[in-house]
């Protein structure tokens, strides 16, 4: 992988929200990118920064591998005040006549959805998908469950209603489903290398990291979903269809190549990412799939 230095990119006045690290808007190859610096791992004093930039990069690439369109992500460095940061640059898809509208905003339009826009109760989300008329309902429900299954694979704990949604053309008023983005809260982004070694060597710690945490941000009866428990028990036909489809598409030959190509990864990190993705596929997706039929 080419190591890109974003230091000399022209920084624009566009700003980005969110709490997960500092963000700059820079022009690279005549395209606008959000350059994300690694956030401080405040909950873990032994880690100066979390690995969320790497999770963002790898998570989006896994989505694209599984044929669910995600934003383009690049890894590189950014120099500031005599410090060099490892960063992820995320191509801005809301440029020109396109504007991003999150799912929460759509949900606010559905009077009978039962919750405000940022309420993540599954029943209310599915009701909104059914009642909305911005995009084809069958395509949207398929997209939602595909996204849910891949989030289960990569262990995303922060897929709320504000970080997925739609692109609206200001001139034509046409709306399409936006690429997936914001995968930084996945792939054990705050695990140190010692944590990684422990998870790979201790079966009890592995089970905790697969079955108990992370959990989904989506809730059922005001309780956050545990991925395996939900997928094992669900009878939702759309969910089961996505579970089968995504599980069959996973190609670790391709994913291993992605991991191996990252210059920032130590040998321990490479081994861990290969390990945890295989275990989550086996212990969650394949185990839950079992004898389910579409």
pLDDT tens-digit map of 163-184: 999 999 999 999 999 999 999 9
Task: Answer positive or negative: Cα dihedral of 108, 109, 115, 121.
Answer: negative
Residue 198 in this model has a pLDDT that exceeds 70: yes
With beta carbons less than 8 A apart as the criterion, state whether 26 and 77 touch. Answer: no
Q: What is the mean pLDDT of the chain?
A: 92
Query: So what's the pLDDT on residue 39?
Result: 75
What whole-number distance in Å separates Cα of residue 88 and Cα of residue 90? Answer: 6
Mean pLDDT of the region 131-147: 97
> What mean pLDDT do residues 10-15 have?
94
3-state class (DSSP) for residue 25: strand
Q: Work out the angle at residue 77's Cα, subtended by the Cα atoms of residues 75 and 78, and round it to the nearest 5 degrees.
A: 130
Backbone angles phi, psi at 180, to 5 degrees: -65, 140
How many other C-beta atoms are found inside a 10 Å radius of the C-beta of residue 2?
8
Q: What is d(CA 228, CA 266) in angstroms, rounded to the nearest whole number?
A: 29
DSSP character at residue 191: -
- On whether the CB atoms of residues 53 and 23 are closer than 8 A, the answer is no
The Cα–Cα gap between 144 and 210 comes to: 22
Q: What is the enclosing helix (H) or strand (E) of 91?
A: strand 83-91
Residue 261 makes CB contacts below 8 A (sequence gap 6+) with 1
Contact indicator for 187, 51 with CB cutoff of 8 Å: yes
Q: Give the whole-angstrom CA distance, residue 134 versus residue 140.
A: 10
pLDDT higher than threshold 90 for residue 116: no
What is the pLDDT, as a whole number, of residue 48? 46
pLDDT tier at 17, thresholds 50, 70, 90? confident
Whether the CB-CB separation of 186 and 55 falls below 8 Å is answered with: yes
Q: Supply angle C-alpha 123, 184, 174, rounded to 5.
A: 60
User: 125 is written with which tokens?
Assistant: 């989300």
Tokens of 40: 């401080």
**Burial of 19 (C-beta count, 10 Å sphere; 0-12/13-18/19+):** exposed
For residues 65 and 71, give the distance between their C-alpha atoms in angstroms, rounded to a whole number: 12
What tokens appear for 230 in the block?
């939900």
Contact 224, 166 (CB under 8 A): no
């Amino acid at each position: 992988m080419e190591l890109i230095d974003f230091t000399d990119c022209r920084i624009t006045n566009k700003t980005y929200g969110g709490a997960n690290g500092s963000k700059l808007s820079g022009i690279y190859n005549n395209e606008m990118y959000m350059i994300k610096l690694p956030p401080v791992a405040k909950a873990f004093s032994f880690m100066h920064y979390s690995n969320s930039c790497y999770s963002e990069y790898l998570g989006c690439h896994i989505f694209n591998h599984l044929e669910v369109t995600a934003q383009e992500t690049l890894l590189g460095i950014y120099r500031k005040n005599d410090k060099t940061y490892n960063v992820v640059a995320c191509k801005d898809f809301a440029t020109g006549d396109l504007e991003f509208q999150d799912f929460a905003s759509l949900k606010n339009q559905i009077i009978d959805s039962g919750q405000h826009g940022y309420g993540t109760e599954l029943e209310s989300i599915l009701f909104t998908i059914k009642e909305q008329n911005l995009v084809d309902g069958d395509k949207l429900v398929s997209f939602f469950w595909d996204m849910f299954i891949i989030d289960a694979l990569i262990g995303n704990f922060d897929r709320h209603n504000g970080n997925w949604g739609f692109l609206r053309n200001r001139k034509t008023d046409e709306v399409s489903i936006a690429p997936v983005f914001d995968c930084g809260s996945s792939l054990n982004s705050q695990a140190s290398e010692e944590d990684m070694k422990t998870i790979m060597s201790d079966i009890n710690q592995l089970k905790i990291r697969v079955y108990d945490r992370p959990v989904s941000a989506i809730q059922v009866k005001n309780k956050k979903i545990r991925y395996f428990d939900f997928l094992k028990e669900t009878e939702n036909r759309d969910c089961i269809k996505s579970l089968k489809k995504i599980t069959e598409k996973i190609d670790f030959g391709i994913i291993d190549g992605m991991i191996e190509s990252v210059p920032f990864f130590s040998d321990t990190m490479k081994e861990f990412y290969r390990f945890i993705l295989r275990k989550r596929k086996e212990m969650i997706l394949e185990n839950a799939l079992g004898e389910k039929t579409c």
